[in-house]
Amino acid sequence: MIIWINGGFGAGKTTLAEELHRRLPDAVVYNPEDVGIMLWKWMRPNDDFQDLPSWRELVVATALSLRRHHAETLIVPMSLIRDAYRAEILGGLAHAGEEVLQVFLEADAGVLRERVDARVGIPANPGANQSAREWALSRVDAAVAAATRQPAGTLLLRSDRLTPAELADEVLAAAGLSQAHGDGKRMR
């Protein structure tokens, strides 16, 4: 199974992925951002590597290869806010026969902004940190709006109301890997 953790910057995707990995130590955590960074080594960076068709294609191919050769469970923390990109990537995985649990972490815009502002960056490069922070903040409203456009079957969880442990309980229950408890879950 592939557990794809979607949501805005600051929603808690990485924290949830870490908690799931702690509970599923044989799973592989795959961050597609690394594919974008790799592509930018070979070509001029643009505003968003998700706009590169090569990125979307390689994200699917890498996930399939990791699942086939290295992991029964793949945990993928990656924002896919644009509907077309989400459909292309997650649809490509499903078309290849992968079982994909789509999780979308919702949070109020103010909470997302506070979390992004609180991030500790690279001390040696404050200029890059500020640029990355501004870029993430500019996408908060789009991420909040994206929660209302998730496809049927998406597990929507409020990361501003549940702890990382409670979120993991909900995800594992939805994946059929554990008994869940707590509230804040709804399936779309």
Q: Where are the domains of the chain?
A: 2-187
User: With 50 as the cut, is the pLDDT of residue 62 above it?
Assistant: yes
Residue type, 66: L
Question: How many H helices and E strands in the chain?
Answer: 8, 6
Residue type, 136: A
Q: Give the tens place of pLDDT for each residue, 79-117.
A: 999 999 999 999 999 999 999 999 999 999 898 888 887
- pTM of the full predicted structure? 0.87
- Segment 60-74 mean pLDDT: 97
Q: Give the tens place of pLDDT for each residue, 5-29.
A: 999 988 999 999 999 999 999 999 9
- Segment 54-59 mean pLDDT: 96
Specify whether domain 2-187 bears CATH 3.40.50.300: yes
Q: What is the predicted pLDDT for the residue at 54?
A: 94
Q: What is the mean pLDDT of the chain?
A: 88
Three-state SS at 33:
helix
User: With 90 as the cut, is the pLDDT of residue 180 above it?
Assistant: no
Residue 124 — pLDDT band, cuts 50, 70, 90? low
Radius of gyration of the chain (CA): 16
- Segment 62-69 mean pLDDT: 97
Give every strand in the sheet of 74-77, ordered side by side. Answer: 28-29, 74-77, 2-7, 100-106, 155-158, 185-187
